[in-house]
Structure 1
Amino acid sequence: MSTRRKLASVIDDQDALAGFSRVRVSMILTDPRAEDNPIVYVNSAFERTTGYARSAVIGRNCRFLQGEETDKRDVDRLRNAVEADRDVTVDIINYRADGTPFLNRLIIAPISDADGQVIYFLGIQKEIYDSEREEDAADTLVLNVRARVQEDLGLVIDSLGDHDVETQIDQEAITRRLECLQLVYESMMLSDNQARTDRGIDLGSLISRVATGVAHEEGRSGIRYVQQIEPVVVNVDAAVRVSILVSEVLSNAFSHAFERMEEGFVELRMSKLAAGGLRITVTDDGVGLPRNVPFPNPDTAGGRLIGLLTDGLEATITPVRGAAGTVVMIDVPFGITET
């Protein structure tokens, strides 16, 4: 079994987080176990940089970005690195959807599960301008972003269980969690103290954005959503873990609480406790948790991820089965707050 570094060891690298908001750092994920190593995820920066819509690239090999001026030696370096399951950095000529070329600093890195099996390749891309060709700063930025995403994604991958050629990971599940991570990174770097303070991260602002995104993507007509979130300043490690945890629990409520129901209600509350730490509650008036199913359910990817995040925060999670619906209460200890 491989040992992953603690999230805080890379989260504290603010240069990596800044890279998502200061510059256009594109992120892609490919699946080497599928035929022709197709793209399974791209972020919005990729769409902006290349001009290709996400729907136009999912399922294709990255070679469509190559063109007449692309150096075959660069292509060979990329292919050889993928075949050998190793990192590689290449400055390569790629082409936008409108046919214009651009110089792309591309880092390819394997993403392994807990058993060391490579199940994805992460691509971090940044357009390089003439003034940046010889600058170490641009290369350092992309490397830092790679490390940041590689570690966070590793946590998510570990929660998805055993992986083999016959059992492919749910790409939709990976995409949703990557979108949450992207939102976390961007929120952390908002200017004018909207998401950061001199003492740490304003988790209230961050959770508001993450939760609103989940409600928009997972909600439907007839399901009302409200949130009441107090400002709570926490350390960076906790900000990432709590954000993903809230995303998982809230998504679970929207996805499973209202089966065969036309209307419903979901509420998110987060408040700072008098003794320190914070309490998060997700309430719904849906069908309720089945009596014979634990929460979080270790037999599901979402349940395992909730368990990993809860353990990492040394938090407690308590589901309450009401006459109608469910209340999930999460208490996170005072150690996550900044002093």
Structure 2
Amino acid sequence: MDEGGALDGFSRVRVAVVLTDARAEDNPIVYVNSAFEQMTGYSRSAVVGRNCRFLQGEKTDKADVDRLRSALSEGRDVTLDILNYRADGEPFTNRVIIAPICDAESNPIYFLGIQKEVYASEKEESGPGSDILMALRGRVQEDLSLLLQQVSEVGEDRAPSAFEEMNRRIECLQLAYESVRLSDRQGALHPGIDLGALVSRAAAAVAHHEGRPGVRYVQSIDPMDVNLDAAVRVTLLMSEVLANAFHHAFDRMDDGFVELRLKRLAAGGLRLSVSDDGLGLPANAPFPDPNTVGGRLVNTLVGGLDATLTPVRGAAGTVVMIDVPVDMLEI
């Protein structure tokens, strides 16, 4: 199965995502998505900080547990079906793919777990769900590596707050993957991903979660088709800059205004801009701030797109403009 087909299927398969910290004692969970909560019955607050072994039970095969333990200790991939138990004690077969996310020296810093419940009809054969998970793993592993390397570089004391932002970032990735399905349905008329539609959906989610009463949000977004890599990077950039505006522009202010624009440039490429009428950037403050996870991520994404980021300090508020050249948007 090719990557496009795998990502198409991703939107049809409920995929649980788990991240564990390979450097901490007992490899604890640092993140689970909502699909994990729905599949297992455990809330995020109940599992973060614990080792995944709580999913095992009386009839879990010891040989399967040994395979998992061995792969984790050796820092390598592993795929297997294992009997796990939900929070209410109900057993279920869990198709698990675990892959390391490594630093520049190839040492595991996190483990990515992708999980899907296996039903009776799938137990005797690999089934489409297995193909989807295997093909999807590489893409998710690559994209999460981009995010998690920034978390690892800010230091352990700042990591907890960084993981609070992880849900928003992974939701952006999932929206990008789901956009492949829409592109496949539209066929030759739309050879790439509609970045305008993707950014619109992701921005609406950011505004919903990060906004507050009194702060008005508007957006103006052009339709345009781009490849998957550009779509992921531009959408993550938008999410970081927009969330930053909501978080920091209106401290101790009762109202305000945030505007997002995504426009085609006459000379080619695109311009992404986020403006606000809030407090504005302090005179000597760098943007993006290289000492934060978000700042490091923005710098990495801008570099990967060969883009130009320009923060403009106005009399009131801030405008952040990001120009992406046309050669990075080829399908």
TM-score by length of 1: 0.88
The answer to whether structure 1 residue 156 and structure 2 residue 147 are counterparts is yes
Instruction: Give structure 1 regions of 4+ aligned residues with deviation exceeding 6 angstroms.
Output: 163-167
Number of residues of Structure 1 aligned to a counterpart in Structure 2: 328
Q: Match of 2:219?
A: 227
CA distance in 2, matches of 1:196, 1:297: 41
Shift of 1:189: 2.7
Which residue identity lines up with residue 125 of structure 1 in the other structure?
A: Q
Aligned-partner residue type, residue 142 of structure 1: L
| 2:120 corresponding residue in structure 1 | 130
Could you tell me how far apart the structure 1 residues matched to 2:296 and 2:46 are?
Answer: 32
Partner in structure 1 of residue 49 of structure 2:
59
1:285 maps to which residue?
277
What is the rounded CA distance, in whole Å, between the counterparts of 1:116 and 1:164 in structure 2?
Answer: 18
Structure with more helix by fraction: 2
- Residues 1:214 and 2:206 are matched in the alignment: yes
| Secondary structure of residue in 2 paired with 1:22 | coil
TM-superposed deviation, 1:296 = 1.9
Query: Which range is displaced more, 272-281 or 49-58?
Result: 49-58
Distance 1:234 1:190 in 2: 13
Separation (CA, whole Å) in 1 of partners of 2:265 and 2:157: 47
User: Residues of 2 paired with 1:16 and 1:290: CA distance?
Assistant: 46
| 2:75 matches 1:85 | yes
User: Which residues of 2 match residues 2-151 of structure 1 at below 5 A?
Assistant: 13-133=3-123, 134-135=125-126, 137-151=128-142
- In structure 2, distance between residues paired with 1:179 and 1:57: 19
Q: CA RMSD in A?
A: 2.4
1:186 and 1:316 map into 2 onto residues whose CA distance is 28
Identical counterparts, % of pairs: 64
Offset at 1:338? 4.8
Cα deviation 1:164-211 (Å, max 9, x = unaligned): 667746321333322322232234434895899632110111001111
Match for residue 244 of structure 2? 252
Give 1:298 deviation, angstroms: 2.2
Displacement after TM superposition at 1:125 (Å): 0.7
Structure 1 gap ranges (5+) = 1-11
Change over 3 Å in CA distance of 1:115–1:172 after alignment to 2: farther
* Structure 1 position 325, deviation (Å): 0.1
- Tell me if structure 1 keeps the 8 A contact 2:274–2:321: yes
- Counterpart in the other structure of 1:8: none
Provide the rounded CA distance (Å) in 1 between the counterparts of 2:194 and 2:114. 28
Cα distance, 1:29 vs. partner?
A: 0.8
Greater displacement, 96-105 / 68-77: 96-105
TM-score (norm 2): 0.90
In the alignment, is the contact (CA less than 8 A) between 2:183 and 2:194 conserved in 1?
A: no
Unaligned ranges ≥5, structure 2? none
Alpha-carbon separation, structure 2, partners of 1:190 and 1:50: 29
Answer whether contact 2:13 2:129 (CA < 8 A) is retained: no
